[in-house]
A and B are shown apart, each in its own frame.
Chain A
Amino acid sequence: MLEVRGLTKIFGGLTAVNDLNFTLGTGEILSIIGPNGAGKSTCFKLIASFLNPTSGTVRFNGKDITGIGPHAVARHGIVRTFQENTSFQDMTVRETVLLGYHKDCKASLAGMIFRSPRARKDERAAGDYADHVLDLLGMTHLANTVSAALPHGMLRNLGIAVALAAKPKLILLDEPFAGLNSDETKRGVELIRKIRDEGVTPILVEHDMAAVMSVSERIVVVSFGSKIAEGTPAEIQQNEKVIEAYLGAEDTEIGL
């Protein structure tokens, strides 16, 4: 479904992503891990077209989608979430999720403004889908809460909810468990399986190793922008290079 070939991004002199190759099958749960600054988020931004790669291509279901722009990528069915809490501050949870559905609205601009039958049909569909998504994430009771008033855990969830509302085929989750407690993380892992069972293929970038090992079917490890290993969780745990990369990273962290 997704095919990343020779993906490279150079910021000035810094190679953030270096000749990255990987593929992903429909319904597979893939994780990308690596020490801080390894280039994981940059890789997501390249796939989602928030950044243009220096070289390399991204193909999705056979189509070249490299650098076509964020909204165009979303319309192909790839939606990303953000590493930092990202929401529409003044909007309620439900309003936010309704907006997530936007790309599937068929009515014209004028139709939306003057409430054409098409637009009203869109709104009903959006409403139904929003209710479904909120139910899936256990956020129904928060539907009318303004985003700015949400606790951290629910903001992380809202990020996923709004992305799901856009009906993606592939969802790029950038550290969905960052800052969550172990209970919330456990529910998050369940959620990712549920999402997959609904027909949305997830890719995770995540630092919580326990969660990554339990949920992933395959793991890609990057360090300094390059892929250093790829395999099942069991294989990755045994991999010499991976252990080295993480130990190296820990050294520098201690050094800080």
Chain B
Amino acid sequence: MQKTISMPNVNLSQGEQRSSSLKPVGLGLLIAAAYFVAIPLVFGANGYLLNVFTTMAAVSFISFGVWLTFAIGRINLAQAGFALIGAYVTAILVSRLGISFWICLPLSGAVAALLGGLIGWPVLRLKGVYFAMITLCITEACRLTALSFPALTNGAQGIVDLPLPGELSLFGLTIIPAFEKGARLPFFYLAGTMMLLGLWFMWLLDTSRVGAVFRSLRQNEDLASSLGINVAKYRVVAFMVSCFYAGAGGAFFATLQQNVYPTTFQVLDSVYFMVYCFVGGLEFVVGPLVGAVVMMSSFELLHDFHRYQTVIFSGLMILCILLMPNGILSVIKRRSGKSEEAPNA
């Protein structure tokens, strides 16, 4: 029974620890520079492409939440549902009460998180397929709820003609000027800011003790609870954070499109958010971003195939998951791991 301890494991974890403080910061700066400087310089004149990048950033933002629920070992298909909730909160508050978008954005996240906490408390006791199924039902329930309360949501007609975000000022000082009609860059920058802030927070969380607790829940809830860890509390916290990302992301999309319909976020969107996490890699905080960028760019690149676009895209998606079951980043990590090991051997 005596197995020898495999040394590569030891080396790998030590190596990770040593470089963990510098690498992520560099990567963050690289992403920021690429998004805020390179893309506007190269594609600034192309409104359509700017829109694609805006969507990519915002969709990554929402997917970070799904990634976090994966961290506690749950497959979360409710993300589109909570995004829809966030979208409606903003749409209703902005159009009915004239409340500023800049208040509605975080507020939508908070409302989604609160509802997520209430729903999550009982539902998070389920695991595996059961949790996936019930969260899928939550997404569908959100759509049906939006349809059934036309007094509030305007039913299938949706809430349209939402105003663009106004000026954000503090003590008479303009921090963000009002968004102009037809201008793409403001939304592009807003989505990028949300994405980077979201990524930064996820990284802080993942590398903190709270992140370690989340990972312990994925691996063994019984052991965690035997150590005095309040399992129910931590998984609700993870789910609420996830829902916050959904709610704020939904608020962004409602404002970007200037309308909300019950179909703005559907089960299929939940599935996509999940797939982005898979494709990028569940081990890495940037996984959802990588997944969203790769998937959405390939979809755009397949544009010339017209009506075969979706078919080819779906095929690629299946191939991707088959060939790289742990995501694209795991392949890159294995490569760089090998080259680092070479001098040792």
Contact = CB atoms under 8 A, between A and B. Distances in A.
Whether A and B are associated in the same complex: the answer reads: yes
Interface of A: 48, 50, 69-71, 74-75, 79-82, 86-92, 95, 98-100, 102-103, 105, 107, 109, 112-115, 119, 122-123, 142, 144-146, 149-152, 162-163, 165-166, 179
Interface string B210-239: 101101100110111111111100000100
21 contacts: A48-B226, A70-B222, A71-B225, A71-B230, A71-B231, A74-B225, A81-B226, A82-B222, A82-B223, A87-B220, A88-B215, A89-B220, A99-B213, A99-B216, A103-B229, A112-B208, A113-B204, A113-B210, A115-B204, A145-B10, A149-B5
Nearest to A74: B228
Given A149-B6, A151-B3, A144 B13 contact: yes
Interface pairs A-B: 6 shortest CB-CB: A103-B228, A74-B228, A70-B225, A88-B219, A112-B209, A166-B227
Nearest to B230: A71
A219 to B, nearest CB: 24
B223 A88 contact: yes
Nearest to B14: A144
Interface of B: 1-3, 5-6, 9-10, 13-14, 201, 204-205, 208-210, 212-213, 215-216, 219-220, 222-231, 237
Contacts of A48: 226
Contacts of B224: 99
User: Which has the most chain B C-beta neighbours within 10 Å: A48, A71, A115, A150?
Assistant: A71
A5 B182 CA distance: 75
A86 B222 contact: yes
B5 to A, nearest CB: 5
B212 A95 contact: yes
Contacts of B237: 109
Contact of B215 (A86, A91, A113): A91
Contacts of B13: 92, 144, 146
A151 to B, nearest CB: 5
B226 A80 contact: yes
Contacts of A91: 212, 215-216, 219
Contact of A86 (B212, B220, B228, B230): B220
Contacts of B222: 50, 70, 82, 86
Contacts, number: 110
Contacts of B230: 71
A144 to B, nearest CB: 5
B219 A89 contact: yes
Given A74-B225, A79-B228, A95-B212, 9 more contacts: A48-B226, A71-B230, A82-B226, A88-B220, A92-B13, A113-B201, A122-B209, A151-B2, A151-B5
Contacts of B223: 82, 86-88, 162
Nearest to A167: B228
Contacts of B9: 145-146, 149
Contact of B212 (A75, A98, A162): A98
Contact of A166 (B1, B3, B228): B228
Contacts of B6: 149
A144 B10 contact: yes
- Residue from the set B6, B201, B225, B237 with the largest chain A CB neighbour count within 10 Å: B225
Nearest to A114: B204
Contacts of A87: 220, 223
B227 A102 contact: yes
Nearest to B237: A109
A119 B209 CA distance: 9
Nearest to B17: A144
A48 B5 CA distance: 33
Which one of A74, A87, A165, A166 has the greatest number of beta carbons of chain B within 10 Å? Answer: A74
Given A115-B208, A145-B10, A102 B213 contact: yes
B209 A105 contact: yes
Nearest to B283: A90
B219 A103 contact: no
A90 B219 contact: yes
A152 B227 contact: no
Contacts of A113: 201, 204-205, 208, 210
Given A74-B228, A80-B226, A163-B226, A102 B219 contact: no
A144 B13 CA distance: 7
